[in-house]
Structure formats: structure tokens, C-alpha cells
A = this chain, B = another copy of it.
Amino acid sequence: MTTTGTTRTDAGGFVATLRAHSRRYHDQHPFHVRMNTGELSRAQLQGWVANRFYYQENIPRKDAAILSNCPDVEVRRRWIRRIVDHDGTTGGEGGIEAWLRLAESAGLTREEVLDHRHLVPGVRFAVDAYVNFARTRPWIEAVASSLTELFAPDLMAQRLAAFERWYSWIDPEGLTYFRARLEQAPRDCEHALDVVTAHCLSAESQARAVDALSFKCDVLWSLMDAIEQAYPE
């Protein structure tokens, strides 16, 4: 990639533009707002848990697509930790398993989550779009698309408090996934931000990184839209 004929922008302005996408993060979605203010019914919360599982179980496949497209062994050595975080190294470990335990704590069976019987088409399409993005776009754009993690810790902290306050029928043991992400997301997004700022030096490449993050905000928002439609008041 060349920077010839392009305008370099300052890294500070680039990072600020990325961070400004927090206003498009799905924590602003009406369904999410209602989740965090305790207004969701049991059926709505179960619907969210079951549908969001499809996102969770596809995350390692998205990250493996980035690994596959990335020629930089140093980047791969760090990126691979994300896959281990989600898959675990043996049975009973990892983020996918933790989400299944959340589902059980919320009164769902593992089977009904794993067999996708509750999965609505809009959620499937949004998640598949994200995996396809990672498979087909330049790896640095796929890395940039992960930068919604910049906004995740605040949402996780809010969600943990909200679940403990409003949805006490969910066994607190089931909230392990969110607690783990409170530590993983800052570590992950620090690396992703380092890689994106190191590689995106031209105005064009920075614009593509911003577009990728914008796309990812659309994925998460669209997922919420589809869940809201499927589980109305």
C-alpha cells in the first residue's frame, strides 16, 4: 500500500474519528436502552440471549478469517488469542461456552440455543455479513471493524449492573462472559488500535478503516433491530 498522492492526516484526529463512532454503538439502540433500564420481559431477554449466541459462535470464525488474510506473523501471534478466548482450549472453557451458561441461567436449554430454533433471519444475515466482511476485505479493514471493542467495556459494566438489579431471576453465575469481556475487550482493542494506526497512514486508508468501523456499528445495530422486531412489547 502506498501513500503517494494521498494526504496524511494526524493520528490523533483519526483516533478521535474512530472513537466518535461510540454514538452509533448499539448501546444506544432502543432495545438495548430498555435492556439496561430493566424494561425487558423474560421472553425478550431470552430472545436476545438466544439470538446473540449466533454472533458469539461466529466470532472465532471471523477472527480466523482475519488470521488467514494477514501476512504479518507478529499480528497473527496476538490475534490468535481472541480465538482461544472464545473457543477455549478444552471442553467447558471459552466465551462460547460461557454464553451457553448465560443462556442456561436465563432459563434456556443448551439445545434450543445450539440448534438455532430461535435465530431470526435478520440476525443471521447481519452476523454472516460480518464474517464475510472479514473473509473478503483487506485484513486491516477487518481489524478496524473490531474497534467497536473501544466502546464495549462501558456497556459491559452497565449491563452487569442492570442484570444484577433488574433481572435477578438470572443466576449471577451466568454473567461470567460479561465479566471476562471487561478485561479482554480493553486488551484486544488496544492491540487492534495499535495495528490500525500503524498501518493506516494515508487519508484513504484511514477513511476505509472508519468505514469498516461504521459497517460494524451497522451489523450490531441491525442485529438489535431484528431482535426488537421478533420480540415486541
Which residue numbers of A lie inside 8 Å of B, CB to CB?
A: 57, 60-62, 64-65, 67-71, 73-74, 76-77, 80, 83-84, 87-91, 94, 96, 131, 134-135
Q: Which of B57, B83, B96, B131 contacts A80 (CB 8 A)?
A: B83
CB atoms of A77 and B68 under 8 A apart: no
Q: Which of B74, B83, B90, B96 contacts A67 (CB 8 A)?
A: B83
Q: Which of B67, B74, B88, B131 contacts A77 (CB 8 A)?
A: B88
Q: Which of A60, A68, A80 has the most CB of B within 10 A?
A: A68
Closest B residue, CB atoms, query A69: B61
CA distance A71 to B87 in the complex (A): 11
Q: Which of A96, A131, A135 has the most CB of B within 10 A?
A: A135
Task: Note all chain B residues with C-beta closer than 8 A to A64.
Answer: 64-65, 67-68, 76
Q: What is the minimal beta-carbon distance from A226 to any residue of chain B, in angstroms?
A: 21
Task: Note all chain B residues with C-beta closer than 8 A to A89.
Answer: 77
| Identical copies in the complex | 2
CA distance A49 to B77 in the complex (A): 24
Q: Which of B65, B71, B76, B131 contacts A83 (CB 8 A)?
A: B76
CA distance A84 to B87 in the complex (A): 15
Task: Note all chain B residues with C-beta closer than 8 A to A57.
Answer: 71, 73
CB atoms of A73 and B90 under 8 A apart: no
Q: What is the minimal beta-carbon distance from A116 to any residue of chain B, in angstroms?
A: 11
Task: Note all chain B residues with C-beta closer than 8 A to A68.
Answer: 61-62, 64-65, 67-68, 131, 134-135
Given A67-B67, A68-B68, A135-B68, CB of A60 within 8 Å of CB of B76: yes
CB atoms of B87 and A80 under 8 A apart: yes
CA distance A77 to B80 in the complex (A): 12
Q: Which of A57, A65, A69, A73 has the most CB of B within 10 A?
A: A73
CA distance A64 to B89 in the complex (A): 16
CA distance A225 to B84 in the complex (A): 39
Task: Note all chain B residues with C-beta closer than 8 A to A73.
Answer: 57, 60, 87-88, 94, 96
Task: Note all chain B residues with C-beta closer than 8 A to A65.
Answer: 64-65, 68
Task: Note all chain B residues with C-beta closer than 8 A to A94.
Answer: 73
CA distance A89 to B73 in the complex (A): 10
Q: What is the minimal beta-carbon distance from A70 to any residue of chain B, in angstroms?
A: 8
